[in-house]
Homo-oligomer: A and B are copies of this chain.
Amino acid sequence: MKALAIDIDGTITDDKRRINCRAIEAIRGLKIPVILATGNTVCFALTTAKLIGTDGIVIAENGGVVKAGYDAKECVLCDGTECEKAFELLSKHFDLEKLDAEYRKTDVALRRNFDLSRAREMLSKSGLNVDLVDSGFAVHIKNKHINKGIGLKKVAELLGLSTQDAVAIGDSENDIEMFNVAGFKVAVGNADPRLKQMASLVTKGKYGAGVAEAIETIEGSFL
């Protein structure tokens, strides 16, 4: 395998979003490029990359924005117009709270305090080209055609790799499409059952302990 694509929240962090030091150390030991893939903002992703010490290759906003390194051009893969329309529609029915609005370029992130299935029903009737995805930390209104799989394809292209050359590690619903295109897929112990079912490897450890375990396996098998 020639690259690692890894989710941040719930994978290298615990359920309170605190980074796990075993995961940090394991990632620092890798000799292949590390792609941080998150539903969070570009700024959050780049800060995390800097603090861990990876090369600033990031998939942010669930694939809406990617960067192939700190000094690389930011690639914005869609616009946020339909997401804003969906937000306006849902705002008529729910008391919604936007998160990180000032830093988001392609999607809308919302506090998880409303009825997701009712909201999905409303949107499905609206004809808007958007999905609602729950990362476990926020609900994202995102373009239907954008996901971490699309983001990984774009980053792989920029790096001159195939997505099949990449190991993906994740924990939640928004990692499914990244699993669809990666060559080897690892679900950490705390992962969503759907992700575990798709995985090449399910770690015993949860969160960062699972990441350390996965990286050990990858290094033993592929590197």
Bound form: Cα–Cα A24–B43 in Å: 21
Bound form: Cα–Cα A165–B24 in Å: 33
Segment at the B interface, from A50-58, A84-92, A120-128, A209-217 = A50-58
Q: Which of B25, B28, B43, B51 contacts A103 (CB 8 A)?
A: B43
| Chain B residues with CB under 8 A of A25 | 21
Residues of chain A in range 19-45 having any CB-CB distance to chain B below 8 Å: 19, 21, 24-25, 28, 41, 43-44
* A197 touches B (CB below 8 Å): no
Copies in the complex: 2
Closest chain B CB from A211 CB (angstroms): 14
- With contacts A43-B43, A47-B44 taken as known, whether A19 is within 8 angstroms of B103 at the C-beta atoms is no
Closest chain B CB from A166 CB (angstroms): 23
**Residues B17 and A51 in contact, CB atoms below 8 Å apart:** yes
Closest chain B CB from A107 CB (angstroms): 17
Closest chain B CB from A92 CB (angstroms): 24
| Chain B residues with CB under 8 A of A48 | 47, 51
Pairs across A and B, CB under 8 Å, 6 listed = A13-B51, A18-B50, A18-B51, A41-B43, A43-B43, A44-B50
